[in-house]
Amino acid sequence: MLFSEIVPNVTSLSRISINRKDEYVFLFEIMIFSNIDIEHGLLFRSIYKGEFWKPCPGTTGGYLCCGYQIITPMRGCAMYCRYCVLQAYFDDMRPVVYDNFDDLKNEIITKMEKWHGIVRFGTGEFTDSLCLEEKTGLSTAIAALLEPWPQAIVEFKTKSTVVKPLEKIKRPDKVIIAFSLNTPRIISLMEQGTASLDERFRAAKRCLEMGFNIAFHFDPIFIYKGWEKEYREVVEMIYDAVGKNIKKLAWCSMGGFRANPGLKKYLKEQMRHLQLFSGEMITGADGKLRYFRPIRVEIYRAMQDAFYKFQADAPLYLCMESHEVWEESGMIGKIPEGLPAFLDQRAEAVLSARAR
Ligand code: SF4
């Protein structure tokens, strides 16, 4: 039986299956067309009956997880990155806003009452956290929801410049605005619909003026002729943008391009972007396609060198990398108590900056 036979007003039902982990299967999602037009299509509305707050499923196979907590107030994206894994997760990756925000709110209040210690939330796992903020107001609402808990910090990841609506957030010191970065070449080739690099840095500066903490993510880093020089130039731009606000830089992550085989299969079926996989890649212990280990190590060594020229103790970490790669790239000394502890300490440092 179709959902449309069970639930009135249902005009479409998407498969919405996620291959990543069983608990991330988006069940009972009822798609209702709304009238809201957005630049790249329709904004859908839906009721979500699963858990809104889940720990990041991380990865299997011994890759180090950062201990992130994911809140999912919507899914899908209004931009179009050629490598976006959401294409493989969802039949239709157009944005869907979950209308039952009160359920999300109640769940978070209930769980936070039992939580001890620092908690690092993010909302950018299944969407871009800010590109539709003018229409949804969801990030602003989530920041307000988390305000009462001094140990809670939330990171909004984006490739957009939609930061003006965030002026309504009363405690910007409890929020990290994180910009995903890449080289101008990769942005123009692979990240259709996103803001340019200069625009992202202008938005980052505006966030600092507004009192937010900021972060940057180099994920995915691609190897191509001239990659090192171009990525080094982007690192230089970070420090130009941050200037004297170095204490507001919460963290910077790095991750070489990797993808689950589902994405390759999907792109093959669509006859699109297969050049992403044209170089030699290995299948990692978690089943994902990755660059060979020596290449990843070379990337991370070069990037560290670029960062440390500007900040000797740059708060760098690797995303979903193996212990061996942490060691071989010379970064293991940064995380003597593990990656989650390192990031918790960084979160504590930015949270306590206001208290002083
Ligand atoms: S901005 Fe993020 S979520 Fe949106 S298409 Fe690009 S990678 Fe996917």
Kindly state the helix (H) or strand (E) to which residue 75 belongs, with its residue range.
strand 74-75
For ligand 1, whether the C-beta of 254 sits within 6 Å is no
User: How many other CB atoms are found less than 10 A from the CB of residue 340?
Assistant: 16
For ligand 1, whether the C-beta of 299 sits within 6 Å is no
| pLDDT by residue, tens only, the chain of 356 residues | 222 222 222 233 333 333 333 333 333 343 343 334 444 456 899 999 999 999 987 766 778 888 999 999 999 998 989 999 888 888 888 899 999 999 999 999 999 999 999 999 999 889 999 999 999 999 999 999 999 999 999 999 999 999 999 999 999 999 999 999 999 999 999 998 999 999 999 999 999 999 999 999 999 999 999 999 999 999 999 999 999 999 999 999 999 998 888 888 888 888 776 677 777 788 988 888 899 999 999 999 999 999 999 999 999 999 999 999 999 999 999 999 999 999 999 999 999 886 55
pLDDT at 35: 35
Nearest to 159 by CA among 212, 126, 200, 217: 200
pLDDT at 278: 72
For ligand 1, whether the C-beta of 208 sits within 6 Å is no
CA of 271 to the centre of ligand 1 (A): 20
| CA distances (Å), origin 233, targets 94, 133, 198, 208, 302 | 33, 30, 12, 21, 12
pLDDT at 281: 85
pLDDT at 356: 52
CA of 312 to the centre of ligand 1 (A): 31
pLDDT at 196: 97
CA of 84 to the centre of ligand 1 (A): 6
CA of 72 to the centre of ligand 1 (A): 15
Provide the residue type at 280 as one letter: E
For ligand 1, whether the C-beta of 81 sits within 6 Å is yes
For ligand 1, whether the C-beta of 159 sits within 6 Å is yes
For ligand 1, whether the C-beta of 128 sits within 6 Å is yes
Nearest to 44 by CA among 101, 100, 96, 98: 96
* Ligand 1 mutation target, pool 74, 80, 85, 128, most atoms within 8 A of CB: 128
Which atom from ligand 1 is nearest to the alpha carbon of 78? 4
For ligand 1, whether the C-beta of 86 sits within 6 Å is yes
- Give dist(CA 247, CA 214) in Å, integer: 10
* Domains of the chain, CATH where assigned: 51-355 (3.80.30.30)
| 153 three-class SS | strand
Specify burial of residue 91 (Cβ count, 10 A radius: 0-12, 13-18, 19+).
Answer: exposed
Sheet holding 119-122, edge to edge: 53-55, 69-71, 119-122, 152-158, 175-180, 213-221, 249-256, 316-318
pLDDT at 41: 52
For ligand 1, whether the C-beta of 157 sits within 6 Å is no
Which residue, judged by its Cα, is nearest atom 7 of ligand 1?
84
Which atom from ligand 1 is nearest to the alpha carbon of 127? 3
**φ and ψ of 32, to 5 deg:** -125, 120
DSSP, res 149: -
For ligand 1, whether the C-beta of 112 sits within 6 Å is no
| CA distances (Å), origin 200, targets 43, 157, 209, 281 | 24, 12, 14, 30
For ligand 1, whether the C-beta of 258 sits within 6 Å is no
Q: pTM of the entire structure?
A: 0.88
Which atom from ligand 1 is nearest to the alpha carbon of 85? 8
For ligand 1, whether the C-beta of 149 sits within 6 Å is no
User: How many other CB atoms are found less than 10 A from the CB of residue 131?
Assistant: 24
- Give dist(CA 222, CA 94) in Å, integer: 26
Provide the residue type at 61 as one letter: G
